[in-house]
Amino acid sequence: MLKFSRPVVKNCKQLLLFKRCITNSPIIKTTSYRLLSNYKSSDTPLFNGIGAIRSYANTVKFTSEVYPDIHRNDIYKKLNSDDLEYFKSILSKQEIMYVAIENDLQELDLFNEDWMKKYKGQSRLVLKPKSVEKISLILNYCNEEKLAIVPQGGNTDLVGASVPVFDEIILSLNNLNQIRQFDPVSGILKCDAGVILENADNYLREHDHIFPLDLGAKGSCHVGGVCATNAGGLRLLRYGSLHGSVLGLEVVMPNGDIVSSMHSLRKDNTGYDLKQLFIGAEGTLGIITGVSILTQPKPQAINVSFLAVKNYEAVQKVFVKAKKELAEILSAFEFMDQRSIQLTKKHIEKDTSFPLEDEYPFYILIETSGSNKAHDDSKLETFLESAMESEIVIDGTIAQDETELQNLWKWREMIPESSQCQGGVYKYDVSLPLKDLYSLVEVVNKKLADADLLGEAPKPVIAAVGYGHVGDGNLHLNVATRCYSKEVERALEPFVYEYVSSKHGSISAEHGLGFQKKNYISYTKNEQEIKMMKDLKKHYDPNGIMNPYKFI
């Protein structure tokens, strides 16, 4: 790995040496870049296959016990044997999982529990239909019978949106998982909603393309799920939001109607863009069953640099500079605070060496991707040279091969898991004006310290750490705890939301509302917007069967 550190680069000769090293760096072959796909994420830890790294969490309490003030709504019918008979009549054995009332629910834990092990429902029925038509029949029946439903993709969400609160039927998209069509000329992919994001991305890479979105949960999360939650992730900086790249959706409405706009056109300006309603609606207006999306050509060259700066002001300066000088090749700009890295050092595999010799207050990870390695190297070189010259960057390193590249990403990627692994984590995912982005971490640490909740055991909180997508004005605040505790929750909420609101930010930049933030929406949205949302929900789902107790 090529290291450079401002304090030791004292003259032009050394800068020149530094320059030469970059220029002569070997080309990172794109064939092997595919191996790295697992290591690029947003705020979700790395995991492939549900439950892969769930083992460190404690037994999860039922949501209804943790939040006793929330009650099951009696408008929903309780599942009976007739309902079960109906579902059995339209579905095969592989498409139903049912646990009788006299048996232990544990068999369905993977469907009832969320990834953070913070929320747990008590559903006894999981339906995994293999066709859109079957989903239509199910919804039509549930709507008539007023049976509540939770649509579930890869169950990797972080706000309790994809698990039941009480006994809602879980409708899993696991069995609807086929690539439908791909056109390498236009780059348009059509697939079932239940295709795992990584499978879609791997398929596309075989055709010299990539999915326009990437996140840590890619090994489990579904293409339909990322649309339903309007996931952000790393590639947003480069390829924009799903509202721009999704070209069509197939959706089953609460009454069973199938609405499809699954065309293969980049542009269609005939009427209201109805699909937009379902992007980010978290399954509260209907179930996404198919996605048509504009994918991107696979980059030919990737560079990753890991930098150290002395304060948050410098983070902003480097960002403005990168936006201007790296411009069209900038594909990620992530920052991490010292506490994030300290936590990660305790948790990361022993053989993953930290890329810098010293510790610094803030770190930045910059990724470039483009079509010409030499050009990209040259741009990055010029950029870093002047950043060091002007002393905004004080230390740093550039990956020289794919192993190093992977290693650098790991230090960003492992933060969520490192925050979670010692008992639990309170996760806040907020948008703030760039200048205020980091101040939230500071005020939260102060607040927790003042309340005597932060410090060595037995104090519940280990640290409040901050990191995230500077390029999108998106901070992830993770409050790492030794256990989930009402006292900590009360110290954090609504304090965090009030602070974000006072800075005109958003209480959810990319995670959505789900169960966790349902009651805090007014910190971001105004009265008129909330009124319109409630009206829209009532209009499309008058019986309220879709993902109740959440969102709005």
Nearer to a second copy, 208 or 498 (CB): 208
- Respond yes or no on whether the N-terminal peptide bond of residue 254 is cis (omega within 30° of 0): no
Least Å distance between CB 62 and a second copy?
Answer: 26
Least Å distance between CB 450 and a second copy?
Answer: 28
Nearer to a second copy, 454 or 475 (CB): 475
Which residues does residue 463 pair with via DSSP β-bridges, in sequence order? 480
Tokens in use for 311? 């304060």
Comparing C-alpha atoms, which of 532, 536, 542 is closest to residue 255? 542
Torsion of CA 222, 223, 226, 231, to 10 degrees: 120
DSSP, residue by residue, 481-526? ESS--HHHHHHHTTHHHHHHHHTT-BSBSSS--TTTTGGGGGGTS-
Least Å distance between CB 319 and a second copy?
Answer: 8
Least Å distance between CB 501 and a second copy?
Answer: 11
Nearer to a second copy, 257 or 359 (CB): 257
Nearer to a second copy, 96 or 521 (CB): 521
State how far the Cα of 260 lies from the Cα of 258, in Å rounded to an integer: 6
Comparing C-alpha atoms, which of 328, 326, 419 is closest to residue 365? 326
Least Å distance between CB 180 and a second copy?
Answer: 14
Nearer to a second copy, 216 or 355 (CB): 216
State how far the Cα of 515 lies from the Cα of 517, in Å rounded to an integer: 6
Least Å distance between CB 472 and a second copy?
Answer: 5
What is the C-alpha radius of gyration for the chain, rounded to an integer number of angstroms?
24
Least Å distance between CB 550 and a second copy?
Answer: 11
State how far the Cα of 134 lies from the Cα of 150, in Å rounded to an integer: 16
Contact 445, 463 (CB under 8 A): yes
Torsion of CA 317, 320, 324, 327, to 10 degrees: 120
Task: Give residues with Cβ within 8 angstroms of 319, minimum separation 6.
Answer: 333, 434, 470, 471
Least Å distance between CB 120 and a second copy?
Answer: 24
Nearer to a second copy, 8 or 185 (CB): 185
Burial of 254 (0-12, 13-18, 19+ CB in 10 A): buried
Nearer to a second copy, 94 or 526 (CB): 526
Contact 289, 192 (CB under 8 A): yes
State how far the Cα of 41 lies from the Cα of 45, in Å rounded to an integer: 7
Nearer to a second copy, 196 or 318 (CB): 318
Least Å distance between CB 509 and a second copy?
Answer: 4
Least Å distance between CB 451 and a second copy?
Answer: 27
Least Å distance between CB 7 and a second copy?
Answer: 28
Nearer to a second copy, 412 or 511 (CB): 511
Nearer to a second copy, 49 or 433 (CB): 433
Contact 170, 79 (CB under 8 A): no
Please give the span between the terminal C-alpha atoms of the chain, in angstroms, as a whole number: 49
Nearer to a second copy, 6 or 235 (CB): 235
Task: Give residues with Cβ within 8 angstroms of 223, minimum separation 6.
Answer: 191, 192, 193, 194, 195, 196, 197, 200, 211, 291, 293
